[in-house]
């Protein structure tokens, strides 16, 4: 009697199990209809939002990045540290420095004499933001900007730091920020490159910039930054040669396209299509660019606002004005580099010249975007690749000093594009050496910039060498405190 | 009955499997539109579990009053019904949650608590017989349900929904009759002072929790003196430098903003009266203005509804895109379209008219720089959901605004660089939702702007930069059009300035040009041999530019060959002697280039050979570089010798150039050496570097360099 009983129970359980299993699988199957692609394995198409779309709604559409190349000192610009003036010449306490590695330029110094800013600071605007006297025009727009005082990075030398800031990796060959945005959001104006690069040089000690900073890396070459010339014609060879009219130019390009298309059919190299597109864009640029570079229609006071340097091609001011015009015409990412901020020595002599070059035009750009109703949708970023030490490099004299590279904290400001206006974010200690509140790592900044542009930094990926790459690698968290 | 129970249990199990799956793969799940109504039934469905679980609890409480058999029957039926509706509500809630663009922490809380209720109820179904476990699970479900319901209500009604009537009763609406102290001053003190000076914690024996206690002050006496800001401790301390020990709020704490401080000062200055209100003040009073400004900024914006319209088809959107018009749906979640039209010369009217096909979807339209006229606004009037319109630098005028009255959602209108004037004032009333108007560079002046702001206080007007606010600034120097610093015989110097209306004056004798007597640049300048053109630009309303010097060398008689006698420094060998006669100029920033020959420990010495038929020559110009920071100085002495054979030459000219007495800008300069007219075949040129740098130089005593890039014979 016992055995049949047991069997009966077993039967029930088996039946029970299979029945439940069937139901469970049924539930999962029904659910999977709502998540198409879940059982297809992971392919490149598995991105939840297709390319060319924002992942979510956001204000910013474009970025103008005013890169201050060479690393301007935070202690003479936005991070006011009176303690350093009081402790003039005293040695940096070892407890403050901790384990910080030094560059080859100061590693052998026997003393690290603290030195405060030679330039006075005041608070400006409703926000009471501290700005040094070197930047009187930026001081006037403090209520439109957000100063981050607690940027920090991993590199201590220019090239890796610059590359890190622009591509999210210290080694080269990763796509730069502009290339990622071009890849993720595409171009707004099909008659201009989505990513433009403008260079200028100040009067201070300079560091080079290289095309690897605006590379497309492993992305399609259509996303590469287009470097503008600093001469009279920002884009070279745009005019037709003598004896060639637009009609025959178009005909020639059509034929060339047909030939290229044949090449594509034969080899299947996607670079051929990139090339065809570039030819076509170049053709349209022939009409679009002269409209943009023509400054004769700008009113007189625009020139006053940016400073008359904006009439001299290749200057920072001219590049700012051009950047506004390009941005106004839908260029997704405009990267400016202004060289000359590397004040290892003679900071007191050089920094005022550098500041004079950029102060008026940087402030003018923000005001100019604002008065056209464009500041909401344009994110302006101003800053360098790292900070500078609170102690003097080389001999400290009463009248002059220099500062070495410092990765642990530096200042950067942003305006528009959904960033909270009129705030200072984060705090450094009284020595201006360490961060005591709200640090912002370079990866965090990248994640936040992408967020402002409506992109989730974890979802904007590209599969290369068997791995999905991101601008933020495997790091980066949103800096919520600066989002409007 | 048992079969029905089984079916219900299985069905619930099935629903929970589905739910679990959905929760795990939430990121990949997309809800088709036809399932969305199901999600929206969540608010309806959720009332079943609420009622049924409460009923189950009651049933359990009154168990002893019921016959066991009927109790069991009712319980089973109720429980089955509860389980089905609970899991159904959970799934529907999940669908509904996907409709939101972003998740909030409140939503997450509600979601997970709601989901746990459905699992708990299924557990109830399973444990059935074990009374104690049944009771524990039932009451846990009940409590969990309470929280799920509470947070859910928070989502729909807002978190402060419950307490709002109480808060509203407590927090009186701020009106003109509310005392300024209560409305504005106390909140500032609350935020910036009271964390250290309150009833529990009174630093410096100061308790600021009531006005009376504030008036009393702390251990250092009263914090304010009525009507006297200069002696009011509160103001004195706020104005101390931040690093001062007595500065308040202390360093590291949130500081008073400029506007807050201004208001405090003004209020104390006006007598620190706790009862004075806006109503009692004169509008010209500074306290009135500060308080009034604060009141305005406190008025909150009403939340807006948007995107409650249909999607345009993908084909339609892509057909509207062409190289000069981009129509973008910014996110896949919203039907809103963003339209930009670019390139004025390529503009066609149909670029605008064709947009009627997506008239309901256009939310933002940018027509800046396009030849848009008032009549074109007819088309834009159809775009009922338009929120943002940019008409910067178009041809529209005031009348354009009359067409926009149908755009009831238009919030932002950019008219910068157009012909509109103060007349727009009367049309603004037709735009119900307008918030921001951009009017830079229009016919509206600063005074009219103030009128506009007074007439439409709820609209923000942006006027941007106006040049009048500023003292004149310095012009840039004139630019040089010539590409090459070596001019061909007869070539002229062309100067330009890109700013319209600028005059250029110049000198060629090295003196500083001025804006009155120096030569006015009207046509290209003729130059001879080596000339340095010093030039300025000026214009009324601007400061005259700094002087800019451009040096020119005119192409001379070409020698046949040249041969170095002394070899240059190893690092600066250029192309050898050829560098001196190749008509390629170096520049003062690149002394490593092939154009330059650099000497430090010995002089430059070179043979120049004019061949069999030497020309008659009267002058030599030696071109040298200057970069004092890099120790590159003018030569201290230059000699030119000549003769018809190399063994027999005589000195034709020796010059000892004036040496600078302070740092001078980098540049490429020339030294002109007039010599008696001669037609020698051979010339020898020597240029001596500075042996010891002068005392004013940072490298004093060290040897200087001389860099030469070209020799010209005339």
Q: Which residues of B touch A330 (CB under 8 A)?
A: 326, 340, 342
Among the four given CATH numbers 3.40.50.2300, 3.40.640.10, 3.40.720.10, 3.20.20.80, the one describing domain A53-239+289-482: 3.40.720.10
pLDDT, tens digit (0-9, with 9 covering 90-100), for A287-317:
888 888 887 778 888 888 999 888 888 999 9
Write the CATH number of the domain with boundaries B556-713. Answer: 2.60.120.260
Q: Looking at domain B479-553, does it have CATH number 3.10.450?
A: no
Q: Is pLDDT above 80 for A57?
A: yes
pLDDT at residue B64, as a whole number: 85
Instruction: Indicate the Cα dihedral angle B71, B72, B74, B76, nearest 10°.
Output: 160
Q: Is pLDDT above 70 for A154?
A: yes
**Strands A195-201 and A226-227, how do they pair?**
parallel
User: Which of B464, B475, B495 is the best mutation test for A, with the most CBs of A within 10 A?
Assistant: B464
pLDDT at residue B167, as a whole number: 65
In the beta sheet, which residues pair with residue B339?
B327, B365
Write out residues 246-275 of B within 8 Å (CB-CB) of A. 252, 255-259
Q: How confident is the model at residue A167 (pLDDT cuts 50, 70, 90)?
A: very high
Instruction: Lay out the sheet containing B682-688: strands in order across.
Output: B561-564, B604-609, B682-688, B637-645, B648-655
pLDDT, tens digit (0-9, with 9 covering 90-100), for A247-289:
888 898 899 999 999 999 998 888 888 888 888 888 888 888 8
Cβ pair B18:A307 closer than 8 A: no
CB proximity B98 to A under 8 Å: no
pLDDT, tens digit (0-9, with 9 covering 90-100), for B688-703:
999 999 988 888 889 9
Q: Which residues of A touch B257 (CB under 8 A)?
A: 126-128
- The predicted model gives B184-189 an average pLDDT of 85
Instruction: Give residue limits of the domains in chain A.
Output: 1-37, 53-239+289-482
| % of chain B with per-residue pLDDT over 70 | 95
CB proximity B343 to A under 8 Å: yes
Residues 6+ apart with CB under 8 A from A407: A100, A152, A153, A154, A155, A156, A161, A386, A387
- The predicted model gives B278-291 an average pLDDT of 79
In total, chain B counts a number of residues equal to 714
The alpha-carbon gap from B294 to the nearest alpha carbon of chain A, in Å, equals 12
**Structure token pair of residue B267:** 């209020």
d(CA B400, CA B381): 10
Q: Which of B209, B184, B192 is nearest to B250 (CA)?
A: B192
User: Which of B11, B19, B28, B247 is the best mutation test for A, with the most CBs of A within 10 A?
Assistant: B28
Q: Which of B7, B98, B24, B89 is nearest to A28 (CA)?
A: B24
- When mean pLDDT is compared over B293-302, B396-405, B582-591, the highest value belongs to B396-405
pLDDT, tens digit (0-9, with 9 covering 90-100), for B635-670:
999 999 999 988 889 999 999 998 888 888 788 888
Q: Is pLDDT above 60 for B206?
A: yes
Q: Is pLDDT above 90 for B551?
A: no
Handedness of CA B248, B252, B254, B260 (dihedral sign): positive
Q: How confident is the model at residue A46 (pLDDT cuts 50, 70, 90)?
A: very low
Between A30 and A46, the more confident residue is A30
Q: Is pLDDT above 80 for B195?
A: no
Inter-CA distances, A61 with A64, B342, B481, B519, Å: 10, 16, 38, 51
CB proximity B599 to A under 8 Å: no
d(CA A383, CA A381): 7
Asked if B384 contacts B358 with a C-beta cutoff of 8 angstroms, the reply is: no
Q: How many CA atoms lie within 13 A of B500 on its CB side?
A: 8
d(CA A419, CA A376): 9
Between A130 and A24, the more confident residue is A130
Asked if B120 contacts B53 with a C-beta cutoff of 8 angstroms, the reply is: no
pLDDT, tens digit (0-9, with 9 covering 90-100), for B384-393:
999 999 999 9
Among the four given CATH numbers 3.90.870.40, 3.40.640.10, 3.80.10.10, 3.30.70.890, the one describing domain B314-467: 3.80.10.10
pLDDT at residue A197, as a whole number: 95
d(CA B647, CA A130): 74
CB proximity B420 to A under 8 Å: no
**Alpha-carbon Rg for chain A in angstroms:** 27
Q: Where are the beta strands (DSSP E) in A205-254?
A: 226-227
CB proximity A188 to B under 8 Å: yes
Q: Is pLDDT above 70 for A10?
A: no
Residue whose structure tokens are 């299947």: A268
d(CA B29, CA B22): 7
Residue whose structure tokens are 């004299």: A397
Give the chain A residue whose CA is nearest to the CA of B323.
A190
Asked if A295 contacts A313 with a C-beta cutoff of 8 angstroms, the reply is: no
User: Which of A139, A371, A400, A483 is the best mutation test for B, with the most CBs of B within 10 A?
Assistant: A371
CB proximity A201 to B under 8 Å: no
Asked if A225 contacts A179 with a C-beta cutoff of 8 angstroms, the reply is: yes
d(CA B569, CA B597): 8
Cβ pair B465:A364 closer than 8 A: yes
**Strands A62-68 and A333-339, how do they pair?**
parallel
- The predicted model gives B284-302 an average pLDDT of 69
CB proximity A120 to B under 8 Å: no
pLDDT, tens digit (0-9, with 9 covering 90-100), for B145-159:
999 988 888 887 777
d(CA B434, CA B460): 9
Q: How confident is the model at residue B1 (pLDDT cuts 50, 70, 90)?
A: low
Asked if A408 contacts A152 with a C-beta cutoff of 8 angstroms, the reply is: yes
Q: Is pLDDT above 70 for A2?
A: no
Q: What mean pLDDT value characterizes chain B?
A: 86
d(CA B321, CA A308): 39
Asked if B360 contacts B310 with a C-beta cutoff of 8 angstroms, the reply is: yes
Residue whose structure tokens are 């950047």: A323
Three-class SS state of A364: helix
Report how far Cα B213 is from the mean position of its chain's Cα atoms. 46
DSSP state of B542: S
**Structure token pair of residue B444:** 């509206």
Three-class SS state of B383: coil
- The predicted model gives A240-245 an average pLDDT of 83
Is the omega angle on the peptide bond into residue B249 within 30 degrees of 0, that is, cis? Answer: yes
d(CA A116, CA B318): 59
Residues 6+ apart with CB under 8 A from A151: A383, A387, A409, A410, A411, A412, A440, A442, A445
CB proximity A24 to B under 8 Å: yes
| % of chain A with per-residue pLDDT over 70 | 95
d(CA B685, CA A436): 67
């Amino acid at each position: 009697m016992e055995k049949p009983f047991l069997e009966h129970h077993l039967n029930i359980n088996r039946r029970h199990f299979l029945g439940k299993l069937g139901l469970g699988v049924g539930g999962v199957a029904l659910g999977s209809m709502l998540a198409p692609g879940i059982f297809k394995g992971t392919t490149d198409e598995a991105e939840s939002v297709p390319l060319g779309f924002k992942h979510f709604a956001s204000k910013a559409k474009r970025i103008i990045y005013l890169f201050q190349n060479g690393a301007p000192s935070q202690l003479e610009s936005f991070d006011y540290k009176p303690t350093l003036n009081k402790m003039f010449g005293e040695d940096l306490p070892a407890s403050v420095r901790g384990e910080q590695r030094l560059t080859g330029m100061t590693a052998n110094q026997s003393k690290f004499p603290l030195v405060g800013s030679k330039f006075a600071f005041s608070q400006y605007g409703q926000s009471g933001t501290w700005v040094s006297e070197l930047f009187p025009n930026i001081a006037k727009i403090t209520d439109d900007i957000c100063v981050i005082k607690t940027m920090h990075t991993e590199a201590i030398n220019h090239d890796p730091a610059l590359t890190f800031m622009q591509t999210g990796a210290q080694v080269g060959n990763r796509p730069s920020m502009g290339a990622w945005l071009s890849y993720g959001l595409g171009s707004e104006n099909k008659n201009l490159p989505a990513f433009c690069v403008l260079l200028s040089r100040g009067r201070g000690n300079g560091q080079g910039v290289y095309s690897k900073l605006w590379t497309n890396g492993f992305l399609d070459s259509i996303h590469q930054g287009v470097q503008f010339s600093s001469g009279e014609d920002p884009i070279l060879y745009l005019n037709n040669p003598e004896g060639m009219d637009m009609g025959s130019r178009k005909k020639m390009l059509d034929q060339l396209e047909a030939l290229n298309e044949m090449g594509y059919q034969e080899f299947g190299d996607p670079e051929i299509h990139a090339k065809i597109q570039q030819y076509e864009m170049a053709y349209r640029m022939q009409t679009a660019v002269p409209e943009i570079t023509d400054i004769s229609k700008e009113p007189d006071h625009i020139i006053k606002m940016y400073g008359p340097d904006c009439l001299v091609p290749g200057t920072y001011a001219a590049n700012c004005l051009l950047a506004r015009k390009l941005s106004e015409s839908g260029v997704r990412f405009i990267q400016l580099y202004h060289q000359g901020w590397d004040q290892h020595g003679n900071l007191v002599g050089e920094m005022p010249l550098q500041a004079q070059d950029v102060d008026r035009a940087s402030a003018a750009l923000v005001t100019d975007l604002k008065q056209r109703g464009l500041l909401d949708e344009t994110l302006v970023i101003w800053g360098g690749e790292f900070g500078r030490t609170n102690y003097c490099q080389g001999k400290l004299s009463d009248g002059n000093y220099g500062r070495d590279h410092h990765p642990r904290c530096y200042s950067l400001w942003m305006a528009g594009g959904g960033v909270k206006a009129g705030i200072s974010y984060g705090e450094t200690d009284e020595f201006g050496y360490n961060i005591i509140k709200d640090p912002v790592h370079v990866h965090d900044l990248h994640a936040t910039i992408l967020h402002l542009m409506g992109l989730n930094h974890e979802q904007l990926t590209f599969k290369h060498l068997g791995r999905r790459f991101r601008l933020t690698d495997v790091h980066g968290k949103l800096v919520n405190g600066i989002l409007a | 009955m048992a079969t029905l129970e089984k079916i219900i249990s299985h069905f619930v199990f099935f629903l929970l499997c589905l739910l679990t799956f959905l929760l795990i793969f939430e990121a990949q799940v997309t809800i088709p539109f036809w399932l969305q109504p199901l999600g929206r039934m969540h608010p309806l469905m959720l009332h079943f579990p609420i009622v049924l679980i409460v009923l189950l609890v009651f049933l359990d409480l009154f168990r002893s009053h019921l016959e066991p058999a009927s109790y069991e029957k009712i319980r089973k039926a109720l429980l089955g019904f509860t389980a089905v509706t609970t899991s159904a509500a959970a799934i529907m809630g999940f669908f509904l949650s996907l409709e939101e663009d972003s998740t909030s922490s409140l939503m997450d809380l509600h979601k997970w608590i709601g989901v746990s209720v459905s699992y708990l109820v299924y557990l109830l179904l399973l444990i059935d017989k074990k009374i104690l476990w049944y009771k524990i699970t039932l009451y846990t479900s009940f409590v969990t349900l309470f929280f799920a319901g509470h947070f859910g209500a928070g989502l729909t009604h807002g978190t402060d929904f419950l307490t709002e009537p109480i808060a509203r009763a407590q927090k009186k609406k701020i009106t003109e009759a509310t005392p300024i102290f209560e409305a504005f001053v106390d909140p500032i003190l609350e935020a910036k002072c009271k964390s250290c000076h309150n009833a529990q914690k009174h630093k410096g024996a100061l308790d600021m929790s009531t006005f009376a206690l504030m008036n009393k002050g702390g251990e250092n006496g009263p914090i304010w003196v009525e009507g006297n800001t200069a002696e009011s401790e509160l103001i004195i301390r706020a104005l101390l430098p931040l690093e001062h020990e007595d500065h308040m709020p202390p360093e590291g704490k949130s500081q008073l903003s400029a506007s807050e401080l201004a208001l405090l000062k003004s209020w104390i200055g006006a007598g620190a009266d706790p009862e004075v209100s806006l109503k009692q003040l004169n509008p010209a009073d500074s306290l009135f203005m500060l308080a009034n400004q604060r009141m305005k900024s406190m008025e909150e914006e009403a939340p807006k509804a948007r995107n409650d319209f249909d999607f345009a088809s993908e084909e339609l959107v892509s057909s509207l895109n062409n190289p000069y018009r981009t129509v973008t749906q910014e996110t896949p979640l919203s039907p809103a379209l963003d339209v930009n039209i670019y390139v004025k010369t390529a503009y066609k009217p149909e670029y605008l008219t064709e947009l009627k096909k997506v008239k309901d979807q256009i939310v933002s339209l940018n027509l800046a720089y396009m030849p848009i006229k008032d009549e074109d606004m007819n088309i834009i009037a159809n775009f009922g959901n338009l929120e943002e319109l940019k008409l910067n630098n178009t041809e529209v005028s005031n009348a354009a605004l009359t067409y926009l009255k149908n755009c009831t959602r238009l919030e932002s209108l950019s008219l910068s660089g157009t012909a509109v004037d103060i007349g727009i004032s009367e049309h603004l009333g037709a735009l119900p939702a307008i918030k921001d108007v951009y009017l830079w560079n229009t016919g509206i002046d600063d005074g009219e702007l103030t009128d506009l702001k007074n007439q439409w206080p709820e609209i923000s007007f942006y006027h941007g930069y106006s040049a009048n606010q500023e003292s004149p600034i310095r012009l840039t120097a004139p630019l040089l059009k010539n590409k090459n610093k070596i001019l061909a015989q007869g070539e002229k110097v062309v100067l330009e300035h890109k700013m319209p209306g600028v005059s250029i004056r110049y000198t060629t004798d090295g003196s500083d040009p001025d804006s009155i007597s120096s030569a006015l640049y009207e046509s290209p300048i003729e130059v001879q041999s080596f000339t340095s053109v010093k030039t300025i630009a000026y214009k009324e309303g601007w400061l005259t530019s700094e002087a800019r010097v451009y040096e020119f060398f005119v192409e001379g008689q070409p020698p046949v060959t040249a041969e170095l006698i002394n070899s240059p420094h190893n690092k600066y060998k250029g192309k050898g002697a050829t560098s001196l006669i190749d008509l390629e100029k170096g520049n003062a920033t690149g002394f490593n280039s092939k154009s330059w020959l650099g000497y430090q420990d010995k002089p430059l010495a070179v043979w120049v050979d004019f061949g069999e038929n030497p020309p008659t020559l009267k002058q030599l110009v030696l071109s040298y570089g200057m970069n004092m920071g890099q120790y590159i100085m003018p030569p201290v002495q230059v000699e030119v010798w000549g003769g018809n054979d190399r063994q027999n030459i005589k000195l034709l000219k020796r010059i000892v150039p004036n040496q600078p007495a302070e740092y001078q800008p980098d540049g490429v300069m020339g030294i002109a050496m007039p010599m008696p007219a001669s037609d020698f075949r051979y010339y020898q040129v020597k240029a001596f570097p500075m042996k010891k740098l002068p005392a004013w130089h940072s490298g004093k005593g060290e040897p200087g360099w001389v860099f030469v890039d070209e020799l010209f014979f005339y």
